[in-house]
Amino acid sequence: MRRLSRRPLELSIVIAAYDMARELPRTVRSLSRPYQRGIEDLAYEIVVVDNGSPSPVDGRAIEAIAPEVRVIRMEGLGVSPAQAVNRAVASTSGRSVGVVLDGARLVTPGVLALARMALTLDRDALVTPLAWHLGQQRQDVSRRSGYSAAVEDDLIASIGWPADGYRLFEIAALAHANPRGWFGPVNESACMFLNRESFGALGGYDESFTSPGGGLVNLDFFTRAAERSELGQIVLLGEGSFHQIHGGVATNAADPAKVQQDFHAEYERIRGHPYVLPQVDPLYLGRLPAPAVRWLEATSAGP
């Protein structure tokens, strides 16, 4: 570890967190060296940015999870994470940048090794796993049928996590961002990687998005990155990010349709046109572990 710490950092990962005391430790653990596979020589850091949580993130406890982790707190930046993420990225030095725009995300064990490989194959690529929700239905649906943090804790325990992170595929449902699975359309990633120069050229996350949780700021960044002519998109086949239930703006709204209407209205005010699904033709990199094969059916089922 001392030898790795003297090397220039290859990757800086920023995790945006707000009021996620239960979920954040698991998210950080899923990105730590003991959990991730094939990254023994990867020099990287994990920066958790606490965007003004009412109860501050317990930095000492989070940093104890892995030596690569540091916690910073930012206050007074508003309810959107855009400014916090941009400032956190600016505080890092890795040649490539990873952004997890939700501290409630668990990832599978091959994400970092494959992201590194992808950026070696195409330095200008936008690299992403697909997204799932924990539980047998999307959480905007399942929470109305009694799905809760306690139920989820039991579900995670039932697969023996974190011993085999790929078993997360057994207890999950596809997210709105990629409803057809591996080979369908993708319009967002809660976990993405790109080189630092590309992040800067895009201007980072657009701080004009000021809605709670950022509204469509993550979709906006993904679209702008995916559609840049010099950026290819690489989807990490067989890897995923899995959303833990928490008090999120979108999945826990009393009126989800009204929330989405407001988010889309903000997007149209900023961009001057309605949001549309980005048209990209991704390259796929990876392999399908046994628990992930079941999701091939979702792809073949069509829209």
Over the stretch 100-123, which tens digit does the pLDDT of each residue have?
998 999 999 999 999 999 999 999
How far, in whole angstroms, is CA 251 from its chain's centroid?
15
pLDDT in tens, 277-294: 988 889 999 999 999 999
Among 3.40.50.2000, 3.90.550.10, 3.40.190.10, 3.40.50.620, name the CATH number for the domain at 2-300: 3.90.550.10
At 254, the pLDDT band (50, 70, 90 cuts) reads low
Closest CA to 36 of 189, 183, 151, 191: 191
Res 7 pLDDT > 80: no
Single-letter amino acid code for the residue at 15: I
- pLDDT attached to residue 297: 78
Q: What is the pLDDT of residues 47-61, one digit of tens each?
A: 999 999 999 999 999
- Rounded Cα distance, 127 and 129, in Å: 7
pLDDT score for 303: 47
pLDDT band at 249 (very low <50, low <70, confident <90, very high): low
Q: What pLDDT does residue 253 have?
A: 60
Per-residue pLDDT tens over the stretch 177-195: 999 899 988 998 899 999 9
Instruction: Kindly report the average pLDDT of the chain as a whole number.
Output: 92
Q: 3-class SS at 10?
A: coil
Helix/strand/coil percent split, the chain, to 5: 35, 20, 45
Which pLDDT value is given to residue 11? Answer: 98
- Least confident span in 69-83, 134-148, 218-232: 218-232
pLDDT grade, residue 228 (50/70/90)? confident
Helices (H), 208-295: 217-227, 256-271
Domain extents in the chain: 2-300
Residue 17, helix vs strand vs coil: strand
**Bridge partner residues of 56 (DSSP):** none
Tell whether pTM > 0.85.
Answer: yes
What pLDDT is attached to residue 173?
96
Instruction: Check whether 3 has a pLDDT greater than 80.
Output: no
**Cα–Cα distance measured from residue 15 to residue 103, given in angstroms and rounded to the nearest whole number:** 6
What is the predicted pLDDT for the residue at 1? 46
Amino acid letter at 112? L
How does 199-234 read in b/e, with b if 16+ C-beta sit within 10 Å? bebbebbbbebebbbbbbbbbbbbbbbbebeebbbb
Looking at residue 264, its pLDDT comes to: 97
Mean pLDDT is lowest, of 2-11, 95-104, 194-203, for: 2-11
Average confidence (pLDDT) over 192-207: 96
pLDDT at 252 over 70: no
- Say whether pLDDT at 248 is over 70: no
- 38 pLDDT higher than 90: yes
